Homo-oligomer: A and B are copies of this chain.
């Protein structure tokens, strides 16, 4: 006998602890029950499907993926359906990028935040798909912009299909995202995501203008990542209480949660970009450094740079004259200034703020996983 409330499965016990694992529930989400299913790692299972789920459930992100697995499968089906087109290049290119995967964190946030308010139906799934399309469109356009040569260990789409196709397929996905939103009929969701899209584009332009500029301040950096990363995290989360008609206070709380989660996530990403945990991160290190992007660790090191260090940054970041050994040198200088640890402390502070906004949300396993996710975002090694 299982019950469900607020997106959670309740097994025979009223509330499973973090160390329990409920086998085989993921295909049987039901429509009623109590909000307190947790995913743990400690119950060995003979069922391979369960073992697989258990093995995967090693981070709060994995826990959420497992909790919302059937919904996420529906989102994936929706993605495949919505990127169909009579023009074969469109599903081919979009599929290449979407299949490449990444963490699918944004649509999962939409599912989880809708799940908090007992909304797990097709509307949440379509909007999760829309969020992923906006993200994918941004990546496609970002690759064109950056001319970067690798993304998550894969050659970026623009190098395989051309800049032209990347721009246009990005436009297609962006338009499809709006079509999916229109189908759901919520003007409030449309308002949130159209605003986020405008802010993302502003953030990208801002980043473009700030690249290679050693005068960039930490405030400006935070402005850029608020726009280019946190805006979509924030919108993805805010959709949840909107779907659940949970009121303005809940909407504001989840918006803030997504914002601070996004900031924490991006700062950690920028630390990881210097090559910490490269193997599991699956991305060539030093991208930001090579492109002359000024991110948190570097900005901290810049604040009290010696004249010799200042000359190094001028040559590598401003003038972009780099040698193969420069990345290691950059890493060393940043570490000497505690740039990485201070950046991660900043990420952690945002993670804490994210977690604290959740006290207004319905208690239960989803809220706990989201709370843990915030901490994880700042502390992950990949």
Partner of A176, one of B85, B179, B190, B198: B198
Q: Is A217 an interface residue (CB 8 A)?
A: no
Q: Is A248 an interface residue (CB 8 A)?
A: no
Interface residues of A in 199-240 (CB under 8 A from B): 200-202, 204-206, 208-209
**Nearest Cβ distance between residue A6 and chain B, in whole angstroms?**
29
Q: CA of A208 to CA of B88 in the docked complex: distance in angstroms?
A: 12
Q: Is A306 an interface residue (CB 8 A)?
A: no
B197 pairs with A175, CB closer than 8 A:
yes
B178 pairs with A190, CB closer than 8 A:
yes
Q: Is A150 an interface residue (CB 8 A)?
A: no
Q: Is A13 an interface residue (CB 8 A)?
A: no
**Nearest Cβ distance between residue A208 and chain B, in whole angstroms?**
6
Q: Is A246 an interface residue (CB 8 A)?
A: no
Q: CA of A175 to CA of B137 in the docked complex: distance in angstroms?
A: 12
Given contacts A182-B187, A190-B178, A205-B90, contact A141 B197 (CB under 8 A): no
- Contact digits for A82-104, partner B, Cβ 8 Å, 1 yes 0 no: 00011111100000000000000
Name, among A144, A185, A198, the residue most crowded by chain B CB atoms within 10 Å (CB to CB): A198
A169 pairs with B89, CB closer than 8 A:
no
* A201: chain B residues within 8 A (beta carbon): 168-169, 171-172, 174-175
The residue of chain B having its C-beta at the shortest distance from the C-beta of A177 within the complex is: B194
The residue of chain B having its C-beta at the shortest distance from the C-beta of A185 within the complex is: B187
Report copies per complex: 2
B165 pairs with A163, CB closer than 8 A:
no
B164 pairs with A163, CB closer than 8 A:
no
* A144: chain B residues within 8 A (beta carbon): 144, 163-164, 167
Given contacts A144-B167, A167-B145, contact A87 B205 (CB under 8 A): yes
Given contacts A172-B201, A178-B178, contact A87 B190 (CB under 8 A): no
Q: Is A154 an interface residue (CB 8 A)?
A: no
B172 pairs with A208, CB closer than 8 A:
no
Q: Is A249 an interface residue (CB 8 A)?
A: no
Interface residues of A in 110-135 (CB under 8 A from B): none
* A137: chain B residues within 8 A (beta carbon): 171
Q: Is A191 an interface residue (CB 8 A)?
A: yes
Q: Is A58 an interface residue (CB 8 A)?
A: no
A-side residues, CB < 8 A to B, are 85-90, 137-138, 141, 144-145, 163-165, 167-169, 171-172, 174-176, 178-179, 181-182, 185, 187, 190-191, 194-195, 197-198, 200-202, 204-206, 208-209
Interchain residue pairs with CB less than 8 A apart (11): A87-B205, A90-B205, A138-B171, A141-B171, A163-B163, A165-B205, A168-B205, A178-B178, A178-B190, A179-B191, A182-B191
- Additional 12 contacts, C-beta under 8 A, given A89-B208, A175-B197, A178-B197: A138-B171, A144-B144, A144-B167, A145-B167, A169-B205, A171-B200, A174-B197, A175-B198, A176-B198, A179-B198, A181-B194, A182-B191
